C-alpha cells in the first residue's frame, strides 16, 4: 500500500536549469533517458505549469522506474517554498518480506548527512562559537600533514568545502575497514596537500568529519546532541537520528540491498561510514526530509536564518570536473561547492544539491534556488536510477525537460 499526500500549491515563478543534470547524469545507466534539454524557450513552460502537475507526473515516472529496476523500496517528497506538494512511498523495507515502506520508515542518508553538518556548523559560526578562518589544529591538535606548515594553513571552512588540497577520499579505505577516526588521523602525517588549502577541490569524508571535534570543543556540546536540540526537535523530525546504534534501534527501518546476478539482495548494515558521522551518519524518514528541505528553502527562519542559508550556499571552491561531461558541457555555466552543498549554475538560477551512497542505500536532495522548489528521494538499494529521477524532476519544474517524455523514453527501453 502506498501512502501519499498532495496539497494545492501556487503555480508560477521562473527558473533556468540544467547544471544539476550534468552531475547527476554522470552515472545514469543505459536505458534511462533524460528528457531532451531546452534553453530559454522552455522557461515559459516552467512558469505556466504548476508544481502539483509536475508532482503527479513524477509520481508515475517514479513508480515506473522503481518497478522496472526491481528496487525493493523507496520514498520521495516534493516541496514548494514552505508547502509539501507530494510525499509518497514505494515497495517494501526488506525484499521478500511484507513490511511496507511508510512515510516514517528510516533510511540511511549517507553523504546527504553533509548538509546537516554544514548547516550546524554555519549556525554556530554565526553565533560566534568559532570562526571559519580558525585553524583546524586549534581544535584537532593531533592533525599533522607531512609538511607541518601546511597543517597550520588548514581552516575550519576548508573541512566543509572539501578544499583541503588533499587527494580526494583520503583514507576512506580505512573507514571501510571500520577503523575509527582516532586511528586514521595519524596517517595524515605521511601526506601533503597537492595544492594550498582553500585553492582546489578534493572530496573528503575523514577530514570533513573533523567538524565534529570543532563543534564539540567550541561549544562543549557533542555533535549528536546539537543535531537533536537545534534541528531534529524544533523541526519535528521525529524519526531522525545519528549513528549505527540509533539506526538499528529503529523498528521501522529499511534494510540495505545490493545488486547480484539474481537481483537485489538484502545485506548487513555496516558501521563503516557511520564512523565519520558528520559525513555520512544521519538517519531519517521521508517525512523528516520534507521538514529538512523546507528549512533549507527558508520556511523556518527561527531554526535556519536566511543569512545562515546564504552562507551555506556561498561557493568556497570551484569543481571544474563537473563541467566536462560530454553531453551537458554546453549548458553548464559553473559548478562549485559551498558548505556541505554542491552548487550548479545555469543562467540566473542555481541548483543546490547533494547525493549520498553507502552500502545498500542511495539518497538525493536538490532544489532550485530561483523557484524554491525541491525534491528528496530515498532508496534502500544501490541504484543509479536515483540520478535520473532527480534530474528529470528538476528539469521539468524549471522548464528544461518533460517528465512525460522521460517516462515514455524509459518505457521503450
- CA-to-CA distance for 156 and 121, rounded, in angstroms? 9
| Number of separate helices (H) and strands (E) present in the chain | 16, 14
Contacts for 189 with CB less than 8 Å, ≥ 6 apart: 144, 145, 146
Show the low-confidence residues of the chain (pLDDT under 70). Answer: 1-48, 324-332, 347, 400-401, 404, 407-408, 411, 413
User: Grid coordinates standing for 406?
Assistant: 522521460
Predicted local distance difference test score (pLDDT) of residue 49: 77
Query: What cell does 113 get?
Result: 548527512
How long, in residues, is the chain? 413
Q: Report the C-alpha gap between 95 and 97 in whole angstroms.
A: 6
pLDDT, position 395: 79
- Of 324, 276, 262, 263, nearest to 109 by C-alpha is 276
- Tell the burial category of 83 from Cβ atoms under 10 Å away from its Cβ (0-12, 13-18, 19+): middle
Site of grid cell 543546490: 352
Which listed CATH number (3.40.710.10, 3.30.499.10, 1.10.3720.10, 3.40.50.9100) goes with 4-121+223-370+383-411? 3.40.710.10
Q: Rounded distance, CA 179 to CA 53, Å?
A: 48
Q: Return the pLDDT at 398.
A: 76
Q: pTM of the prediction?
A: 0.89
Alpha-carbon distance 53 to 86, whole Å? 10
Helix (H) or strand (E) holding 408: helix 403-411
Distance CA 314, CA 179 (A): 33
pLDDT at 363: 98
- Select from 272, 163, 141 the least CA-distant residue to 207: 163
Residue whose grid cell is 503555480: 11
Three-state DSSP at 89 gives strand
- Give whole-number Cα distances, 93 to 7, 175, 253, in Å: 26, 26, 7
389 within 8 A of 7, measured Cβ to Cβ: no
Torsion of CA 177, 181, 187, 189, to 10 degrees: 170
CB contact at 8 A, 240 and 229: no
- The secondary structure of residue 195, as a DSSP letter, is S
Amino acid at each position: 500500500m502506498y501512502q501519499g499526500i498532495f496539497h494545492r500549491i501556487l503555480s508560477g515563478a521562473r527558473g533556468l536549469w540544467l547544471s544539476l543534470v550534468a552531475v547527476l547524469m554522470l552515472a545514469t545507466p543505459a536505458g534511462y533517458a533524460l528528457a531532451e534539454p531546452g534553453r530559454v524557450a522552455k522557461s515559459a513552460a516552467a512558469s505556466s505549469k504548476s508544481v502539483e502537475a509536475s508532482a503527479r507526473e513524477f509520481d508515475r515516472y517514479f513508480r515506473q522506474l522503481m518497478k522496472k529496476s526491481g528496487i525493493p523500496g523507496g520514498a520521495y517528497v516534493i516541496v514548494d517554498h514552505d508547502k509539501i506538494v507530494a510525499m509518497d512511498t514505494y515497495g517494501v523495507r526488506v525484499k521478500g518480506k511484507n513490511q511496507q515502506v511508510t512515510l516514517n520508515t528510516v533510511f540511511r542518508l549517507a553523504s546527504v548527512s553533509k548538509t546537516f553538518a554544514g548547516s550546524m556548523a554555519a549556525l554556530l559560526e554565526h553565533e560566534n562559537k568559532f570562526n571559519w578562518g580558525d585553524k583546524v589544529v586549534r581544535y584537532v591538535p593531533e592533525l599533522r600533514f607531512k609538511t607541518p606548515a601546511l597543517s597550520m594553513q588548514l581552516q575550519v571552512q576548508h573541512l566543509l568545502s572539501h578544499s583541503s588540497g588533499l587527494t580526494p577520499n583520503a583514507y576512506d579505505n580505512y573507514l571501510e575497514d571500520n577503523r575509527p577516526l582516532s586511528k586514521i588521523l595519524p596517517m595524515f602525517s605521511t601526506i601533503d596537500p597537492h595544492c594550498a588549502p582553500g585553492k582546489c577541490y578534493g572530496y573528503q569524508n575523514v577530514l570533513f568529519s573533523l567538524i565534529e571535534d570543532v563543534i564539540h570543543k567550541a561549544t562543549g556540546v557533542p555533535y549528536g546532541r546539537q543535531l537533536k536540540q537545534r534541528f531534529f526537535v524544533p523541526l519535528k523530525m521525529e524519526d531522525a537520528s545519528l549513528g549505527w546504534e540509533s539506526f538499528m534501534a529503529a523498528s521501522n527501518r529499511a534494510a540495505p540491498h545490493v545488486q547480484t546476478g539474481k537481483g537485489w539482495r538484502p545485506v548487513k548494515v555496516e558501521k563503516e561510514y557511520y564512523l565519520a558521522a558528520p559525513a555520512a551518519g544521519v538517519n531519517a524518514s521521508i517525512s523528516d526530509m520534507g521538514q529538512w528541505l523546507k528549512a533549507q528553502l527558508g520556511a523556518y527562519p527561527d531554526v535556519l536564518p536566511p543569512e545562515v542559508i546564504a552562507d551555506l550556499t556561498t561557493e568556497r571552491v570551484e569543481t571544474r570536473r563537473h563541467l566536462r561531461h560530454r553531453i551537458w558541457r554546453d549548458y553548464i555555466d559553473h559548478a562549485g561547492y559551498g558548505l556541505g552543498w554542491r552548487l550548479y549554475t545555469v543562467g540566473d538560477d542555481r541548483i543546490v544539491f547533494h547525493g549520498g551512497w553507502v552500502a545498500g542505500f542511495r539518497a538525493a536532495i536538490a532544489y532550485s534556488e530561483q523557484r524554491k522548489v525541491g525534491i528528496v528521494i530515498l532508496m534502500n538499494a544501490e541504484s543509479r536510477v536515483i540520478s535520473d529521477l532527480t534530474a528529470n524532476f528538476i528539469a521539468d519544474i524549471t522548464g528544461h525537460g518533460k517528465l512525460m517524455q522521460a517516462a515514455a523514453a524509459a518505457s521503450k527501453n
